[in-house]
Amino acid sequence: MIRIRVEPAPIDVAAEMALAEAGEAGAVATFTGLVRADDGVETLELEHYPGATQAALHALAEQAMGRWGLHAATVVHRVGPMRAGERIVFVAAAAAHRAAALDACAYLIDRLKTDAPFWKREVRAGVATWVEARQGDEAAAARWSI
């Protein structure tokens, strides 16, 4: 079971967890990304490529399902404006055992960072700046290459 959602509504982790745990899996690993407030960011705006975003996330989830034999994969990404401290992304991987769940969860968030068409704009003191891509993200995604 693959669940992909890209929407402006706040992410309900409890509801997503309940869905991820609903199957026959013995292990569920999750990742939650939050809007960091430590460098003066007041709001974060997330732009995406409608249609292509969902397809890219679905393709990643399918790869994870096949590679780790998952029972379920969930990717929920918020778009639009959000405030510091709010959830921006939630990933869950449900598998028979913990190693597959943990690895698949890390794979999904690492590859999402480099493969899914989202762009962040930070607003500090009323001034908006587009976030630059980080070299470290490419390296983190590359470690999953077979």
In the block, residue with structure tokens 């990643």: 60
Hey, which residues does 124 pair with through a beta bridge? 127
142 near another protein, rule: CB under 8 A: no
Where b means 16+ CB within 10 Å and e means fewer, 53-68 reads bbebbeebbebbbeeb
Residue 114's alpha-carbon distances to 54, 118, 138, 139, in angstroms, are 14, 9, 6, 10
Task: Pick one of 3, 41, 117, 123: the residue that binds another protein (CB under 8 A).
Answer: 117
Task: Pick one of 60, 82, 101, 118: the residue that binds another protein (CB under 8 A).
Answer: 118
Cβ closer to another protein: 21 or 115? Answer: 115
Cβ closer to another protein: 15 or 131? Answer: 131
Contact 70, 60 (CB under 8 A): no
Task: Pick one of 4, 29, 35, 56: the residue that binds another protein (CB under 8 A).
Answer: 56
Cβ closer to another protein: 71 or 113? Answer: 113
Interface with another protein by CB under 8 A: which residues? 33, 46-49, 51-52, 55-56, 77, 88-89, 109, 112-121, 130-134
